[in-house]
């Protein structure tokens, strides 16, 4: 196809040339946020094309100063920093709550930042996976992130069930890559009386498919099941609207689209209808205890209402400072604005990949923008990891998943239309 071919979609008319990409960037009201981030560089000092925010987000420039402030306050105040620091450490997690709740569509009382994703998943399964002899099975999507699968399998074993019997996989049909909602309906119709929990990744890490969270929640509840979601690839990427969705719980990490640094803290959501249920079992720690008497030390456990009641320990401030830095950038940009740009940016990537007109290439991610976030999973038939190595050598940071998929995530906070255009040009050169 010619380089100046245009096509029409519901957003705008895309063109396959650099001038168009530059014009989109010039007219992008969010373009300045790119300058808020630090980009890895090649040996000549040129910024790499970074399309890997689905694995680790870039560092916001302000992160260093946010962390340095806590180091200064630690040096200046010692233990008194818990009350006297610029941002006192005692309530520090509360500085993150409203912003995080806004990003996941929850009430502040339903969200807390703590621990890491899989730890939070186990803690919430203690509360929301309460199997009986007849209702004990757990449903996950067949290609769930391995950590989720390991976690639910271990929970089944802990309760005395064999995962070979107790774990139900929601699978794509033969020859397909995506899960169909009607197939989940069929599973629930057939085995719903034995299913205790639906634990689904909101946006699948491999395919990039975003599932209909509200429909899944209503389906699970109609069969008397608890419903939880893993938002590792959803938080900061799609709008999960957790409160409105009605899910019982959700968990997520913050180092991917939320740019908080490698291995940083995660977050969790507990719907407000569970906020003060005394019958709900949980593992507890002192930071989930009534704030008014927490330091008295000799009171019986008195859980805080809402998600805060699942806290175990006092939070790591340096990690939370990095999260606060990123969340502040998100709030300045506005998530609805970011989502609108994301749809356009990923749509442009999809258009350019289609323009390659290469029979080896197939996009396994859904074509409908409402059914995906910013990630496209590009299957290159007959390719192996050498293709990914060549892309890396060509100055592109993307992600490879066996056997033949490149995951590319143009992140609206810091990626540009020209990034997308240049990536496809380099891919084209390698393929040729």
pLDDT in tens, 76-133: 999 999 999 999 999 999 999 999 999 999 999 999 999 999 999 999 999 999 999 9
pLDDT of 17: 97
Residue 83 belongs to a domain: no
Residue 74 belongs to a domain: no
Domain containing residue 399: CATH number: 3.90.1150.10
User: At which of 293, 316, 331 does a domain end?
Assistant: 331
Residue 67 belongs to a domain: no
**Statement to judge: residues 130 and 243 lie in one domain:** yes
Asked if omega into 321 is within 30° of 0 (cis), the reply is no
CA 318 to chain CA mean position, Å: 21
Give the residue-averaged pLDDT of 317-342.
98
Domain containing residue 302: CATH number: 3.40.640.10
Give the residue-averaged pLDDT of 360-380.
97
Residue 73 belongs to a domain: no
For residue 38, pLDDT beyond 50: yes
Give the residue-averaged pLDDT of 1-6.
37
**Statement to judge: residues 294 and 163 lie in one domain:** yes
pLDDT of 276: 84
Give the residue-averaged pLDDT of 48-56.
98
pLDDT of 259: 98
Beta bridge partners of 198: 139, 227
Nearest to 196 by CA among 223, 230, 169, 236: 223
pLDDT of 297: 83
pLDDT of 1: 33
What is the SS3 assignment for 108? Answer: helix
For residue 4, pLDDT beyond 60: no
Provide the mean pLDDT of the chain: 95
**Statement to judge: residues 306 and 415 lie in one domain:** no
Give the residue-averaged pLDDT of 271-297.
91
Q: What are the percentages of helix, strand and coil residues in the chain, rounded to 5?
A: 45, 15, 40
> Looking at residue 409, what DSSP letter applies?
B
**C-alpha angle 148-347-235 in degrees, rounded to nearest 5:** 30
Question: Contact, 233 vs 201, CB < 8 A?
Answer: yes
**Statement to judge: residues 112 and 39 lie in one domain:** no
Q: Domain range spanning residue 44?
A: 6-60+334-431
> Looking at residue 115, what DSSP letter applies?
S
For residue 410, pLDDT beyond 90: yes
pLDDT of 382: 86
**Statement to judge: residues 50 and 20 lie in one domain:** yes
**Statement to judge: residues 318 and 339 lie in one domain:** no
For residue 9, pLDDT beyond 60: no
Give the residue-averaged pLDDT of 289-311.
92
**Statement to judge: residues 262 and 344 lie in one domain:** no
From CA 208, how far away is CA 408, in angstroms rounded? 10
Residue 242 belongs to a domain: yes
User: At which of 265, 297, 331 does a domain end?
Assistant: 331
| pTM greater than 0.85 | yes
Domain count, the chain: 2
**Statement to judge: residues 121 and 249 lie in one domain:** yes
Residue 81 belongs to a domain: no
pLDDT band at 407 (very low <50, low <70, confident <90, very high): very high
**Statement to judge: residues 169 and 31 lie in one domain:** no
For residue 3, pLDDT beyond 70: no
pLDDT of 28: 98
Residue 366 belongs to a domain: yes
pLDDT of 383: 87
Structure token digits, residue 211: 């599932």
User: At which of 315, 331, 347 does a domain end?
Assistant: 331
For residue 144, pLDDT beyond 70: yes
pLDDT of 298: 86
For 189-224, what is each residue's pLDDT tens digit?
999 999 999 999 999 999 999 999 999 999 999 999
**Statement to judge: residues 189 and 294 lie in one domain:** yes
> Looking at residue 405, what DSSP letter applies?
E
pLDDT of 279: 83
**Statement to judge: residues 369 and 303 lie in one domain:** no
Residue 65 belongs to a domain: no
For residue 6, pLDDT beyond 70: no
For 10-27, what is each residue's pLDDT tens digit?
447 999 999 999 999 999
**Statement to judge: residues 146 and 192 lie in one domain:** yes
């Amino acid at each position: 196809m010619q380089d100046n071919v245009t096509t029409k979609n519901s957003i705008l008319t895309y063109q396959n040339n650099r001038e168009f990409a530059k014009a989109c960037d010039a007219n992008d009201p969010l373009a300045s946020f790119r300058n808020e981030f630090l980009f890895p560089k090649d040996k000549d000092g040129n910024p790499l094309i970074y399309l890997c925010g689905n694995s680790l987000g870039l560092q916001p420039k302000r992160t260093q100063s946010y962390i340095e402030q806590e180091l200064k306050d630690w040096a200046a105040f010692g233990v008194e920093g818990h009350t006297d620091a610029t941002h006192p450490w005692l309530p520090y997690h509360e500085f993150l709550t409203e912003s995080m709740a806004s990003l996941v569509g929850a009430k502040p009382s339903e969200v807390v930042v703590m621990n890491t994703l899989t730890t939070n998943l186990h803690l919430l399964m203690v509360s929301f996976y309460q199997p009986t002899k007849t209702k004990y099975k757990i449903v996950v999507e067949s290609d769930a992130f391995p950590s989720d699968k390991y976690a639910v399998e271990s929970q089944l074993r802990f309760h005395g069930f064999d995962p070979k019997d107790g774990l139900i996989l929601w699978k794509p049909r033969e020859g397909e890559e995506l899960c169909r909602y009607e197939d989940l309906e069929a599973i629930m119709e057939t085995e719903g009386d034995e299913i205790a929990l639906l634990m689904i990744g909101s946006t699948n890490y491999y395919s990039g498919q975003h599932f209909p969270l509200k429909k899944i929640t209503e389906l699970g509840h109609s069969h008397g099941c608890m419903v939880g979601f893993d938002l590792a690839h959803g938080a900061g990427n799609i709008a999960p609207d957790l409160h409105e969705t009605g899910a019982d719980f959700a968990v997520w990490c913050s180092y991917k689209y939320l740019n908080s640094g490698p291995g940083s803290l995660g977050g969790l959501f507990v719907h407000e209808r569970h906020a003060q249920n005394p019958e709900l079992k949980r593992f507890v720690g002192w930071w989930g205890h009534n704030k008014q008497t927490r330091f008295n030390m000799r009171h019986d456990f008195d859980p805080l209402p809402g998600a805060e009641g699942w806290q175990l320990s006092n939070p790591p401030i340096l990690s939370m400072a990095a999260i606060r830095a990123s969340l502040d950038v998100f709030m300045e940009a506005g998530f609805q604005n970011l989502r609108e740009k994301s749809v356009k940016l990923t749509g442009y990537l999809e258009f350019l990949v289609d323009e390659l007109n290469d029979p080896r290439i197939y996009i396994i991610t859904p074509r409908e923008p409402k059914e995906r976030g910013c990630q496209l999973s590009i299957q290159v038939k007959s390719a192996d990891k050498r293709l990914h190595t060549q892309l890396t050598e060509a100055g592109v940071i993307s992600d490879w998943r066996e056997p033949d998929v490149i995951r590319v995530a143009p992140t609206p906070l810091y990626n540009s239309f020209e990034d997308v255009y240049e990536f496809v040009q380099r891919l084209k050169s390698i393929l040729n």
